Structure 1
Amino acid sequence: MAYNLKSESEVKEYINNLGIEYRFGCYSEKKPEVCHLLADFLESIKKDYEKAAKVYRNNCDEYKYGKSCLKYGTYSMLGRGTKKSDYKTAYDYFEKGCNLEEPDSCLNQGLLLITKNDKPELQHDVIKGMQLLEKACKSKNANACYYLSGMYIVGVKKDPKAGTTATVSEVSKKEEFQVPKDMTKAFQFALEGCSLGNMYSCANLSQMYAKGDGVEKNDQMAEKYKALALEMQKEVQSNKTLGFQQGLPP
């Protein structure tokens, strides 16, 4: 049946039928990918975050669907569709998603370990966090590559007091660093991030080529990556729309 999507009544019928289709595919046919679409539908169309959270969680636990683990982890972290924000539960579900080869879950799990926090339920672990970012980067997650590049640009200092991180500019160069500054690695991860479409990685590449940091100085390459970063920025500004069935951003 063809719907006239300019007709309000037909749009409502279409949306209602879509929900019925997703429920049948999830609950009767037990298709994990359809369960995830059902949760996206509940989130984006119905705005029923509590029901969406339950479907995401069940789809992760019962059907081992990595994208649903990622979404429920995000819900738990934000307190969306749940009683309150719970970073430990968020971490656990990001871990499940990462183990199911969902790169964004590896990224989020790693960031929870790396970033400064006052959450006693999560142990600060920069090395493990960076390993998770590397796994995400190798799985073509551009943001993970970018974060790794940034960490190698500034280094990560050991902080025996609170287990927090600090940049090179905040401490004496004589201090011992848990992760030392390494411009060669910074360049490699920036190159990977840029090739995957991260405009900040491209901007960093431009600076590295301009200064000769981690790579031989090359003004032509510096201009090339500067232009690429600016072009990506224009695309981002002109494409700020939500695609159908993508769901809400975390």
Structure 2
Amino acid sequence: MLAGPTVPLPVMCRAVARTCNTLTVASIVDIDRSAEDREFFAAEAAKLLPLRHALLAKLREIEDHELGPGDQNQSAVVLGDQVLDRGVRAGNTRTKLGLKGKSGLGAEHAFGNRVDDLTDAPHRNEPALVREAITKIGDLPDYDDKAKVQNDLLARVELQEGLLKARDQGDAALSKLESEAVKLVVEAADKLVQAKAALDGRFPRQRGYVASFFLDVSRKRRSRRDDDDGEGSGGGSEG
């Protein structure tokens, strides 16, 4: 089965490469073909070559993003969450100590009965929850380091908000790359159909020969050493 418009980008890269490569070498390996046939192979390969380059470039661009800024942004958010959690726990402890022996609202007014409810909140939600806690600290009686606790928590919140924003921007950039990849895959699928039609027209009733120019994505990938599998002819299966 030909690679269709819904296959993943890496599969389409292999499919177009297989057809392009087979067309390129056909004039050398298939000594039974005429000069006109060899010109035909070269012309069909030339049609696919720019698309092959575009697919591979897009694949590398996506991988570079995922393994570079994409992973870095996610790592930053995870670490930033730990930094924020440490600040919340420290702030809660310093507030409890500062309010010891004082009447009025206690630390739980700002940090809740369980500080874990703050620190275990989803990464995206925690900064807003901590901002609420910072505001509620203002309702508490004065104590040593009250302003320092608020300022420290605010700095950590703003740090995490910036890291989340950077991750969102990176995710948007990745989505754009993936959208461009989808368009390339659809275009490639159409080009493969056209190439097969051209080969079918030039070599009628030679289904096995024509199939050898294409990656069969319906078959499990295996070793390229087809001769070891006892298949001396037939389609260009995946592997």
- TM beyond 0.5: no
State the TM-score, normalizing by the size of structure 2: 0.23
Q: Which has the higher relative contact order, 1 or 2, with Cα contacts under 8 A spaced 6 or more apart?
A: 2
Greater share of residues in helix: 2
